[in-house]
Structure 1
Amino acid sequence: MLLEEFRNRVESLRELIAARNARALLLSKCCNFSWFTFGGRSHITLNSTEGEASILVTGDRLYMITNNIEKQRIQEIELDESLLGEFGFLEYSWFEPSGERRLVEGLVKGKLLSDTGRYSGEHVDITPMRTLLSQSEIDTYRILGRECDEIFSAIVPTLKSEMTELEVQGLLYEAMAKRDIEPLLVLVFSEDSSLRYRHNLSRDVKLGKRGFASICARRRGLIVSCSRSFMFEAADDVLRQHQQNCYVDAVAIGSSRPGVKLSEAFGRLIEAYEKVGRAGEWKFHHQGGIAGYLPREVHANLRSDVHLREGNAVAWNPTIRGTKSEDTVLIGIEQNSILSFPEESTWSALEFEVNDEVVRRPAPLLIG
């Protein structure tokens, strides 16, 4: 199945090359490398946007172009065995500053498309292709989402109010590493930080009475974003606000259906804020959007001119000062699936009815 999906992907890129009257397409962005190879990694550092290998697609050949440091790793680790024979491997020395360019220009005589615009290539954006997930990608995403939920469910009940944000961040790092998950982002919010910052870079501050944690977790290129909240002392006002926050999230999730414009779903999210008496809170933090090989492939706003499709994933993250709700959701033809908060989760849920469907959101965990 993977080889068939891969060859379909190749054909779609060749159709793009023909439509733009070009001779070849060079993919150099890490997200596109992972998408094209169904999870291969061309990066070295986790924050890389352009990798150490590029893929050249021509009308009749595929080339993997990389330096002598990375070639063996890519062949032995990053590519599924069924895909190895699809590529011709081209290598240049790491100390040759224009090695990749020399190889590309030796192969391409005519117009070049490029996802970075390098080598005077005409820039091309393949986000619409990259965000429409195949069955193999969906399977990977489901497993990753479930494991993120399991990590939160295992770690959060063990937290203590005197722990610092940095200590909790370390626990989440360790848990993800043990499962071969790349921690692109781990933000831990103490009570103090949750009231100060919408994006808190974890600090040496004690958790206090409550808080929440957010992660962006990557495996095989796909990224799950999710958050969980906790309390050491019950507080009715905080619970009420969390429910309001979750209602906004549930409306956004329930509104993310095939054929709906992303801007329309965003508009319904704004209306949900207004309904719970929190008008204007959306202006203080981005609200999420389409997810996949980037934490957000397309950010949602009132001008987002993108129609959602079956096979897209979304990750909304509405916030109210002090609270947050976030999970990664697969858009299905009949109903959506919350990948990082599956039905079998042991974490307690709040339920909201949206468009005649029940949307489950994680409740705050009372510890102690």
Structure 2
Amino acid sequence: MSNQNGGALMNAVNEEVSSKLELIRNSVSKIGAMGVRLKGTDWFAWATAGGSNTVLLTAETGIAEVLVTAEDAWVLTDEIEAQRLKDEELPANFKLHIHPWADVAARESFVREVTAGGKILSDRTTNQEGSLPLSLFKHKRVMMSSELERYRRVGRLASEAMTEVLSKAKPTWTEYQLAGMGAKALWARGLHPALTLVAGERRLPLYRHATPSKEPIGQEAMMVFCARGYGLYANLTRFVSFGGMKPEHAKLHAYLREIEAEALNLCQPGTSLNTIYDAFKQAYQKYAYPNGIHEHHQGGTTGYLAREIVATPATSDTLAENMAVAWNPSLPGAKIEDTFVILENGELENMTFDPKWPNVEVEGRLRPLPLEVG
């Protein structure tokens, strides 16, 4: 990257963070709070324009947090982590407060000092700290243009990793091997393999969330990615079949492409998530699988969490422009999933589409087919 391009990118990050700090301050000043603490991996990435406080991949919180007051924005961490965060993760908008790793109380003392002992809001509430306002959750779920550019990169890399691995897969591989190759391909592209599910021929029709096992995958397999980059999740599911897919299995995949289309057609600003849930319910009934709606969640909005909100009969939250969605309708042995963003004109952009993967047009959208090998 040239210095000129690098400078432009840094300026865009700084501008994004400045806008978010203003959003935070405006949201909390109305309720008299003196500070906001953001500890979750999702909120940290959002506030820092893609920075990471993650060391342990399975943890919901990380090795640093963001503290925003009316005057300043801090990243609080210990002496183990500070230099790397400063060098590799943090934009210039933040000051760094460093405490001894063995003295967590020093962090709490600093927070009380800079907030004058006043009211504090947090994404991880305690008896002393209140919840974030709903307006901030909305801001986190609706992407700025700079966030969408990062999201597109994550989606492209995740889908390329999926294509690479399943194109090389062998029926003799174990589910562990296939999942390991998937995780390796994601790491090689700088993405966290937050979720790598694999089910082979025997286990595929039995389990919707099939964590990998030592069994050989056999004649067909499913792999699922929740790949995280810049804190953003690219969610996608693909299938591979060796020696040709059975007609009855191909029919299930065809049904799911039509069922999914019912939901995708409704992904417009202002549509409620329970409206889409109801559309899924009716679509399953249409294809003579009335229990399909009960056998797996259907997905929902995505972004800085694999699912920000899962659609249920009770979720009245509405979709908006620049919000991402990932639906995953399924039937025994079949599933479909990609990550889309709702654009300004109401169109959907598939951020996990790889043109090298076999596809078919459904309702004007290119949707993945099972990859047939041999």
Determine if contact 2:322/2:342 at 8 Å carries over to the other structure: yes
SS at 2:190's partner residue?
A: coil
1:336 matched residue in structure 2 = 348
Determine if contact 1:214/1:228 at 8 Å carries over to the other structure: yes
For 2:366, which of 352, 360, 367 is the aligned residue? 360
1:96 matched residue in structure 2 = 103
2:164 matched residue in structure 1 = 154
C-alpha distance in 2 between matches for 1:115 and 1:163: 42
2:22 matched residue in structure 1 = 11
Determine if contact 1:258/1:332 at 8 Å carries over to the other structure: no
The amino acid of 1:124's aligned partner reads L
1:169 aligns with 2:176: no
1:359 CA drift (Å): 2.3
Query: Cα deviation per residue 1:136-178 (whole Å; 9 max; x = unaligned)?
Result: 1101111111122212222212212121111111111111111
Determine if contact 2:121/2:132 at 8 Å carries over to the other structure: yes
Determine if contact 2:42/2:305 at 8 Å carries over to the other structure: yes
Bigger drift between 155-164 and 69-78 goes to: 155-164
Aligned-residue CA RMSD (Å): 1.3
C-alpha distance in 1 between matches for 2:180 and 2:36: 41
Determine if contact 1:191/1:209 at 8 Å carries over to the other structure: yes
C-alpha distance in 1 between matches for 2:353 and 2:277: 21
C-alpha distance in 2 between matches for 1:255 and 1:352: 14
1:215 matched residue in structure 2 = 225
Query: Cα deviation per residue 1:271-318 (whole Å; 9 max; x = unaligned)?
Result: 221222222212011111110011001111111121100110001011
For 1:300, which of 303, 307, 311 is the aligned residue? 311
| Structure 1 runs (4+) greater than 6 angstroms displaced | none
C-alpha distance in 1 between matches for 2:269 and 2:114: 41
Query: Cα deviation per residue 1:298-350 (whole Å; 9 max; x = unaligned)?
Result: 111111121100110001011101111011111112210011015xx111112
C-alpha distance in 2 between matches for 1:161 and 1:230: 10
The amino acid of 2:214's aligned partner reads D
Determine if contact 1:101/1:119 at 8 Å carries over to the other structure: no
1:321 aligns with 2:332: yes
1:119 CA drift (Å): 6.5
2:124 matched residue in structure 1 = 116
Give the TM-score normalised by structure 1.
0.94
The amino acid of 2:94's aligned partner reads F
The amino acid of 1:7's aligned partner reads S
C-alpha distance in 2 between matches for 1:285 and 1:339: 23
C-alpha distance in 2 between matches for 1:192 and 1:340: 27
Give the TM-score normalised by structure 2.
0.93
C-alpha distance in 1 between matches for 2:131 and 2:159: 38
For 1:274, which of 259, 262, 285 is the aligned residue? 285
1:31 CA drift (Å): 0.7
Determine if contact 1:328/1:340 at 8 Å carries over to the other structure: yes
Query: Cα deviation per residue 1:193-223 (whole Å; 9 max; x = unaligned)?
Result: 1111111110011112212100110111001
SS at 1:196's partner residue?
A: coil
C-alpha distance in 2 between matches for 1:220 and 1:26: 20
C-alpha distance in 2 between matches for 1:6 and 1:239: 47
Structure 2 unmatched runs, 5+: 1-11
1:183 aligns with 2:193: yes
State the percentage of identical aligned residues: 29
The amino acid of 1:338's aligned partner reads N
SS at 1:255's partner residue?
A: coil
Determine if contact 1:191/1:207 at 8 Å carries over to the other structure: yes
C-alpha distance in 2 between matches for 1:75 and 1:247: 48
The amino acid of 1:112's aligned partner reads I
1:62 CA drift (Å): 1.1
1:225 aligns with 2:235: yes
C-alpha distance in 2 between matches for 1:114 and 1:149: 34
2:268 matched residue in structure 1 = 257
Structure 1 unmatched runs, 5+: none
Determine if contact 1:254/1:359 at 8 Å carries over to the other structure: no
Q: 1:92 to 1:241 in 2, by over 3 A?
A: same
How many residues end up aligned between the 2 structures?
Answer: 358
1:35 matched residue in structure 2 = 46
SS at 2:202's partner residue?
A: helix
1:201 aligns with 2:211: yes
1:127 CA drift (Å): 2.4
SS at 1:160's partner residue?
A: coil
Query: Cα deviation per residue 1:32-75 (whole Å; 9 max; x = unaligned)?
Result: 00000011111210111112111111112111111111111111
SS at 2:217's partner residue?
A: coil
